[in-house]
Chain A
Amino acid sequence: MKFTCDINVKHLTRVEGHGNISIKITNGKLEEARWEVVETPRFFEAMLVGKHWENAAYICGRICGICSIGHTLASIRAVENAFDIVPSKQTDDLRLLLKHMETLQSHILHLYFLAAPDYLQVGSVLPLAKTHPEEVQRALRLKLLANDMCDCVGGRRMHPTRTIVGGFTMLPEKEELERFRNRLTDALADLTAAADLFQSFTFPGFVRETEFVSLRGKDNYPFIGGDLISSDGLIRQEDQYLEMTNEFCVEHSTSKWSKLSRKSFAVGALARVNNNFKHLCPEAQEVADFFRLSPINHNPYMANIAQLVECVHVVKDSITIIDTLLGNTWEAPRQAVEEKEGSGTAAVEVPRGILYHYYEFDQNGRVQKADCVIPTSQNHANIYHDIEELATQCAQSGKNDKEIELLAEMLVRAYDPCISCSVH
């Protein structure tokens, strides 16, 4: 078969940030398959140098609009670890609740607004408002719930206001939490309907074996802090994160790349589900079973399903957290902060995968050095090699340009890349 194609996607749409795909096949031979990141860098790690610790989370939250809560919480945790501050159980619960709602918000945005249009053969969610009004309303309802809860707990859905080193500036009203508990229960029915919709999609049967990196669950499905694990068998402590990330620069990317045991690894919902499946709540495991998603799954397109599974998990877990909070009397929202010389690391699972923040402080609490390793930058190499493999397979199968282009775009979108975040 003499198959030839030349695909150049400049500034891929329905992803956060700027990236290009190029695939060139001549006479059935793959000549080039690339994933390029052309986003302009912002230099957050330099910006922080010399700044007092209270700036860290305020500025670093602005690395990303979609996962600003995750960045804020990672930054706060790194500062708290540097100052030996142990948050109260109440603060931990509220932070996890906030984190869960960011996960829900981000996953629903991705599933419905960014991924679903491909499976329904439209260019965006806009025409779906006409053809699939119930589904779009459902998506908006779920997203609104998540965003409303982020407003309630974090003060603001984007670039939260109440989250600070030591705890929160103020606490939600219990009546508000009770009302959210009801809406969360209703959300479970919406998620069942979402699963039915996604069940009707045909996910490409592409597989490329890779390594998956995430936090390591001890007693529960992990989101904030703890040990790090790779599906190839590595286990490291939070502050040994550099051994998991191994960042390096490549010429076709303004984002750094990462690698571990192989030439690339993946982080994100699929990595978490693969590495911590047994810690998912039974209802979430049921959804995974429904889609025959079981560890270890090496089909990157299944990341969409892993997100759906996590939506169910975070909604169920949020109900449990709210019950705990409602059963206790409120303690003080925050504890005092005493700065000191030293360094601190935080590993937090944000929607797109494991995120690390690391800071070094002098005796006045001013940043000497900062390092942030972003989930999408850890994924870039994996995306790159997936595209290579996909293109190789396509070269043999003789699909046409349009089909290959769409498959490649869908592949990148499945990672839900946050490109501007990766070039922070």
Chain B
Amino acid sequence: MSDTLTYLGVKFPKPRVAFFELTSCEGCQLQVLNNEATLLDFLSLVEIVTFREAMSERSDSYDIAFVEGSISRKDEEDRLKEIRNNCKILVALGSCACFGGVNQLKNRFNDLNWVKKEVYGDFPIDTQEVKPLADVVQIDLEIFGCPIKKEEVEMIVTNLVLGKSITHPPYPVCMECKANENICLFELGEPCLGPVTRAGCDSWCTNHKRGCWGCRGPAEVANVEQLEEIMKEHGFSTETLLDRLECFGGFQSQVSDIKNRTKEID
């Protein structure tokens, strides 16, 4: 394999890319392998030097590190710091890495001992409150989603390689959903977080008549109070809203606002 990439007659150095996983389902990494149609083209863009799930070779010398998963143990903090030292660009891959993902649902009990006991009984097990990567090191780029969209990853990597800037859509999923001419799920009696969730997934779930659960976190302007009103009008409880808002960790501040408010009323 040559170590440079030619694009429109211009030569670009082929970046050395590494994939890592912390606490996760490894689904986001798998999504990269899941793009059978373009996988080989994609692999010709970069030189993959570490990808434990797919290859035996490993290297500590790489330009771009994709890190999937959140932090839930001290050794993961150390590994992440080491990765940060080794790479030029650190990409948080997926909602676990960006916000804590589903893993952070255990934080809501504010009682790690109870959580441990519920699953392991009296067996000693090491764990801490789940954190996103940005709580430990500086992140250069976030790729949202649970799971990530493989087309988006390929697009982002291509832009990275070409040195183009990478921007996320500031508008909510609703915009994409309307452009896709879906019937709004609220009209079908289903709750949806599309009005407040960052777009970029091409309204993946609502295209399949499944309400959005907010896996990509808040859009730039996310009016959760207004969504609460819409939910109420359609007969959905605050609990239904909270289940979705707190599922992936992207709406943490909005969740605590609502929880504090309902506590005050109690």
Q: Are A420 and B56 in contact (CB under 8 A)?
A: no
Closest chain A CB from B6 CB (angstroms): 19
- Would A124 and B25 be within 8 Å (CB), given that A129-B40, A156-B208 are in contact? no
Please encode chain B, from 1 to 40, with 1 for each CB lying within 8 Å of some chain A CB and 0 for all others: 0000000000000000000011111111111011011011
Note all chain A residues with C-beta closer than 8 A to B30. 65-66, 158
A14 touches B115 (CB 8 A): no
A155→B56 contact, CB < 8 A? no
Given A16-B26, A65-B27, is A155 in contact with B208 using a C-beta cutoff of 8 Å?
yes
The stretch from B99-107, B166-174, B217-225 touching chain A is B99-107
Q: A162 vs B101: C-alpha distance in the bound complex, in angstroms?
A: 21
The yes or no answer to A62 lying at the interface (CB within 8 A) is: yes
Contact A13 B204 (CB under 8 A): no
Judge whether B147 and A65 touch: CB under 8 Å: yes
Q: Contact at B127–A43, with CB atoms within 8 Å?
A: yes
Interchain nearest-CB distance for A240 vs B (Å): 21
Given A65-B147, A125-B55, A161-B210, 11 other A-B residues pairs in contact with their CB atoms under 8 A: A14-B56, A40-B127, A46-B114, A46-B118, A64-B26, A126-B43, A144-B37, A156-B204, A158-B27, A158-B31, A162-B208
How far is the CB of B137 from the nearest CB of chain A, in Å?
17
B56 touches A123 (CB 8 A): yes
- Cβ contact of B23, chosen from A40, A55, A126, cutoff 8 A: A40
Binding site for A on B (CB under 8 A): 21-31, 33-34, 36-37, 39-40, 43, 48, 51-58, 72-73, 76, 101-103, 105-106, 109, 114-116, 118-121, 123, 125, 127, 146-147, 204-205, 207-210, 213, 239-240, 243, 247
Cα–Cα, bound, A401→B39 (Å): 35
Taking a contact as CB atoms closer than 8 A, the residue among A52, A64, A117, A169 that contacts B25 in the complex is A64
Most buried by A among B37, B53, B58: B53
Task: Indicate which residue in A14, A40, A129 contacts B76 across the interface (CB closer than 8 Å).
Answer: A40
Q: Say whether A14 contacts B208, CB under 8 Å.
A: no
User: In the bound complex, do residue A68 and residue B27 qualify as a contact, i.e. CB atoms below 8 Å apart?
Assistant: yes
In the complex, how many residue pairs between chain A and chain B have their CB atoms under 8 Å apart? 153
Q: In this assembly, does A113 line the interface, its C-beta being within 8 Å of a C-beta of chain B? A: yes
Report B213 CB to chain A, min CB distance, Å.
7
B210 contact from A109, A117, A158, A169, Cβ within 8 A: A169
Q: Mark A266-293, 1 if CB is under 8 A from B, else 0.
A: 0000000000000000000000000000
Closest A residue to B210 by beta carbon equals: A161
Chain A residues in 8 Å Cβ range of B31:
65, 158
Residues from 15 to 49 in A contacting B, C-beta threshold 8 Å = 15-17, 40-43, 45-47, 49
B119 touches A46 (CB 8 A): yes
| Chain B residue at minimal CB-CB distance from A145 | B36
Interface residues on A, range: 35 or more
Please tell me which one of the listed residues B34, B52, B118, B147 contacts residue A45 in the complex, with CB atoms under 8 A apart. Answer: B118
Given A11-B52, A147-B34, A156-B204, A41:B127 Cβ within 8 A:
yes
Neighbouring A residues of B102 by C-beta, 8 Å: 42, 47, 59, 62
Set of chain A residues within 8 Å of B48, measured between Cβ atoms: 126
Q: Which A residues form the contact surface with B (CB < 8 A)?
A: 11, 13-17, 40-43, 45-47, 49, 51-52, 54-55, 58-59, 62-66, 68, 109, 113-114, 117, 123-126, 129, 136, 140-141, 143-144, 147, 155-159, 161-162, 164, 169-170, 249, 254, 420-421
Query: Nearest chain-B residue to A114 (Cβ)?
Result: B54
Decide: A143 near B27, CB < 8 A? Known: A41-B125, A49-B118. Answer: no
A16 contact from B53, B76, B239, B243, Cβ within 8 A = B53
Q: Give the complex CA separation of A420 and B53 in angstroms.
A: 12
Tell me, in angstroms, the Cα distance from A374 to B14 when the chains sit together. Answer: 40
Let me know if B25 and A68 touch, CB within 8 A.
Answer: yes
Other-chain contact of A249, B29, B34, B123 (Cβ < 8 Å): B123
Which of A13, A51, A136, A164 meets B243, CB within 8 Å?
A51
Least distance between A39 CB and chain B CB atoms (Å): 8
